[in-house]
Amino acid sequence: MTDERFHELIHHVLDCLGTSAPPHDLFAGGAGDWHARARLAHFLAQMPTHLAEARTLFQSVIDAEPNEEHAQDVEEKVYAMQGLSALEASEQDMQEAALEHINLAIECAESTDFLYKYILRGELWADRWNLMHKMHMTEEAEAEADERIAAFDGLEDAVPHNSYLYYGYRFKAHLAAARGIPLIAKDYMHMALHAMEIPPAYEQGLADAFAASHENTAWILSEIDRATPNPERLHWDI
């Protein structure tokens, strides 16, 4: 991508977003800075007419080497690979590439011990498992989820807010729902929520969602998700 086109796209994003646009300084590094390319790609990925350019920019970040001494730098690389994978996962002929890039995101995220500001390691694994399920690799994905869950057996008190457990049990709950086993799906979601910080204001809404007695398990899980606090705004220990 030329510098000219890069700057055209920046101004397109700023114009489209209006008062909610990011500061221009976010892209100050220009097309030669992988951080600026990744940031622009995230905004373009929200515009259906610019998905191809978003993918191109994300792909240009694959070989970028973040500074592993700085959490934000590592997190930015991880977030870019997660974004690339999400774009590719929506197209069947690109799902192998999507799996490769979510794997790269996981590898990068787990190369340090940082507690990232936005990225949750458990969510990255869930992205991998959901993609594998879509690619008819469900048995392998579920085995991986079980392995991550087992790794923290007995450590619930030491690591009470655990993204691996939340997303692992949530993935198993959705598999149980797809298999038509509502009680098991609810049980897994109870276990998922035990690994999450639940502010008191959310407790009644969750109780109401779990109380549904019909057999539409997908709807129940959707209601539980709606009643669950946004994981991005909670404290996590891992």
CA–CA distance, 130 with 4 (Å, rounded to integer): 38
Straight-line distance from the first to the last Cα atom of the chain, in angstroms, rounded to the nearest whole number: 37
The verdict on pTM exceeding 0.85 is yes
Predicted pLDDT of residue 8: 95
CB burial of residue 188 (10 Å; 0-12, 13-18, 19+): buried
Q: Is the CB of residue 164 less than 8 Å from the CB of residue 121?
A: yes
CA–CA distance, 132 with 226 (Å, rounded to integer): 25
Q: How many whole angstroms from its chain centre is CA 174? A: 16
Predicted pLDDT of residue 20: 87
CA–CA distance, 36 with 156 (Å, rounded to integer): 39
Predicted pLDDT of residue 21: 87
Predicted pLDDT of residue 209: 95
Predicted pLDDT of residue 215: 81
Q: 180 phi and psi, to 5 degrees?
A: 75, 35
- Among all chains, which residue has been given the structure tokens 């606090």? 229
Phi and psi based region of residue 30 (left: phi greater than 0; alpha: psi -120 to 50; beta: remaining)? left
Predicted pLDDT of residue 51: 97
Predicted pLDDT of residue 1: 80
CA–CA distance, 7 with 23 (Å, rounded to integer): 14
Helix (H, G, I), strand (E, B) or coil at 37: helix
Counting as low any pLDDT under 70, the low residues of the chain are none
Phi and psi based region of residue 115 (left: phi greater than 0; alpha: psi -120 to 50; beta: remaining)? beta
